[in-house]
Amino acid sequence: MNYATKDIRNVALLGHSGSGKTTFAECMLFEAGAISRRGNVTDKNTVSDYTDMEQDRGNSIYSALMHAAWKSSKINILDTPGFDDFVGEVVSSLKVADTAVMLLNARSGVEVGTELQWEYVSKYKTPAIFVINHIDNKKADYEKTLEQAIARFGNKVVPVQYPLNQGDGFTTIVDALRMTTYVFGPDGGKPQKNPIPAEEMDRAKEMHNALVEAAAENDEGLMEKYFEQGTLSEQDLAAGLRIAIATQSIHPVFVASSSRNMGSGRVMGFINDVCPSPAERPEAELADGSTLKCDSSGKTTAFIFKTVNENRVGNVSYFKVYSGSLKSGDELVNADNRTAERMGNIFLSNGKIRNAGSVINAGDIAATVKLRDTHTGNTLNTKGTDRKIAGMGFPNSRIRTAIEPPGKAEMEKLMKALHSIEQEDPTLSVEQSHTLKQTLLHGQGQLHLDLIAAKIEKESGIKMNFIRPKIPYRETITKTANEIYRHKKQSGGSGQFAEVHMRIEPYYDGMGEPDGLNVRKTEEVDLPWGGKLHFYWCIVGGSIDARFSNAIKKGIMNKMEEGPLTGSNCQDLRVSIYDGKMHPVDSNDMAFMLAASQGFKNAFNQAGPQLLEPIFELDILCSDDVMGDIMGDLQTRRAMIMGMGADGHYQKITARVPLAELYKYSSTLRSITQGRAKFTRKFVEYQSVPNDVQKQLVGAHQSELAEA
């Protein structure tokens, strides 16, 4: 069946790990008749967690696309992982969703994972509703969870429902929007509708009035009706709430027990009746700053938000049609690389089950296979149309590791597998570091990288070993030094001769000209690894021909690539060549290059050499009870605490930590907090390494050179 844009609802299920998203998705599909039996995570038979790794681990790793028909609508459901190691799956799902369904664990309240996911909900300005799940848990606390949600997400969080008897005996939901109660049998499913008990009527009316006010606030006509009548009709109330949700003026709160199939049907009905269709959302942002209306009558534009490589299938591409319509056999052009792609079969997905579709209209989500040159984040257009949907804005990596295969012969095969995954997962990046002479993987956490390694071993038969990555130290100097170096070599016939007099100084912006030197020429070099070299030619009288200046500079640059202290890159120096000697026969570029290189090394060692290390700023979000453990661990990592303060009902620690002390920090933080803390990091600056650490690093480098 083809659905018009106005009849499509795209929802993403979000929440901290353990909030019950996958089980809630099962309830949604079951209540809509899309499946005949509800699966569960324990039995490894759910629709969304269908990969071997997800079933082995018992939680979601990848987002999964499902769909269900509800009344006149098609509801596309994107079940996302709760671990922040897989935040890329959340970002890509929110990119194409029109409503976020945020599940909260009634036992645990608002958890850190929910806080981080909310940042992306806010970034995309996605309408959101909350579902307080696990209300049947014996330690469920609806009131506390609701209070935390309001404290963290603001007064726009407005309850629609509350449980009459939470905990083990949970059976009844009071619905203040429809002013009724839903009473469930022991197996859940379709409830009975009963009047609200008299003792609950005041509370229900108060909640109902709050919903009416929220609905009326966004429409002058409804506000006038509200003032005249003191209430709104059910039809007017639904219309007002539709506007309020679409403009993120209200975030309704529902309750549910996904394990007992209680409450999901009401949420499905609300999504159908009130949540916005793609046509009611703001126009999509394009990369050039313009916008695109979601309209099936327009020219076709589709966006690939997820790519997965499956055995025996190849690339499976999940896409959303932003304009026009799409059918099997259509030929489109990739706006990112200008290649033509012919769409093969188009599939409507329920997890791993894919059924052929016919026409996919604007706003709908589907999948196709075997696109040759199209990957995650690419835009496909009808020929003659040049549009590019704005990117998804994935977060920077938070962890890195070096890798090596079991043998050199497998390196090519390993890199091919890694680059294939890199195309699927934009939160992973592979770096061939020339400076460190290592292959580095950058990802979101140790779990993220471990699962990539497991996937490669299973699919390619290569066991990828993780090793500690080297640190990109920098070398500089702290004082001025002069050096005279003569390079002389005679081995029959013409020899090599060059003498260079140089001065090296620490460089900083705004420094004056070198004292006592007659500057003839200056050159500023922006170094590839950062920092600068200022090269001054101060030769007077022709003691060295100017034609040798480039060779001298090259010799200095060669040594700066592998500095004298630890073989690290040098930066922020000024080198002045002020005198020297040459021979009419034996002087050549090679001689002056060698003389400059060795002279620079000697001068550097006399100029108070200083090793610099990269410093990263960490923002750590945690609960009060684990704050002490986190602070204690940071103290062992040479951290400088920059600030502490409340962020909602969580604590936020900001600290600056050397990169050398952050190896496997993701795993340590998860271990000491039992997963109740999250962090982000960003590079800030290079700082001087403490003297004792510098001595250790220089000594280790010298030992390596001696053994080589």
Counted residue by residue, the chain has a size of 708
Express each pLDDT in 386-430 by its tens digit. 999 999 999 989 999 999 877 777 888 888 889 888 888 999 999
611-693: CATH class? alpha beta
Measured CA to CA, the distance from residue 474 to residue 571 in angstroms comes to 7
Tens digits of residue pLDDT in 223-242: 777 676 777 777 878 888 99
**Positive/negative CA dihedral, 477, 479, 480, 486:** negative
* CATH architecture designation of domain 7-280: 3-Layer(aba) Sandwich (3.40)
pLDDT digits over 139-178, tens only? 999 999 999 999 989 999 999 999 999 999 999 999 999 9
Mean pLDDT of 487-503: 87
What is the reported pTM?
Answer: 0.87
For the chain, the structural domain boundaries read: 7-280, 293-382, 399-467, 475-607, 611-693
Cα–Cα nearest to 49, from 60, 38, 34: 60
User: How high is the pLDDT of residue 493?
Assistant: 65
Which of the four pLDDT bands, split at 50, 70 and 90, describes residue 192? very high
Nearest partner of 367 among 96, 102, 26, judged by Cα = 96
Give the model's pLDDT for residue 166.
95
Class of domain 293-382: mainly beta
In contact, 116 and 678? CB cutoff 8 Å: yes
Cβ atoms of 405 and 457 within 8 Å: the answer is: no
User: Helix (H) and strand (E) counts for the chain?
Assistant: 16, 38
Q: Do the Cβ atoms of 675 and 622 come closer than 8 Å? A: no
Q: What is the pLDDT of residues 237-265, one digit of tens each?
A: 888 899 999 999 999 999 999 999 999 99
575 and 535 Cβ atoms separated by less than 8 Å: yes
- Residue 320, phi then psi, degrees to nearest 5: -120, 135
Which residue, 15, 281, 3, is CA-closest to 126?
281
CATH 3.30.450.20 describes domain 399-467: no
CB 96 within 8 A of CB 10: yes
* Structure token digits, residue 260: 């007992």
Mean pLDDT over residues 46-65, rounded? 89
Q: Are 412 and 449 in contact (CB under 8 A)?
A: no
Please provide the average confidence, as pLDDT, over all residues in the chain: 92
254 or 221, which is more confident? 254
pLDDT digits (tens, 9 = 90+) for 9-42: 999 999 999 999 999 999 999 999 999 999 989 8
Closest CA to 177 of 129, 221, 218, 135: 129
551-584: per-residue pLDDT in tens?
999 999 999 999 999 999 999 999 999 999 999 8
Tokens of 552: 């001298």
User: Which residue reads 């671990």 in tokens?
Assistant: 83
Distance of alpha carbon 254 from alpha carbon 280, whole angstroms? 23
Asked if pLDDT for residue 550 goes beyond 80, the answer is yes
> Which strands, in side-by-side order, build the sheet including 180-183?
161-163, 172-175, 180-183, 192-194
Residues of the chain above pLDDT 70, percent: 99
Same fold, 399-467 and 611-693: yes
In the DSSP assignment, the letter for residue 6 is G
Cα distance between residue 665 and residue 528, in whole Å:
29
Q: What is the CATH number of domain 475-607?
A: 3.30.230.10
Question: Do strands 99-105 and 128-133 pair parallel, antiparallel, or not at all (unpaired)?
Answer: parallel
pLDDT of 649: 74
User: What mean pLDDT comes out for the span 59-75?
Assistant: 94
For 366-380, write each residue's pLDDT tens digit.
999 989 999 999 999
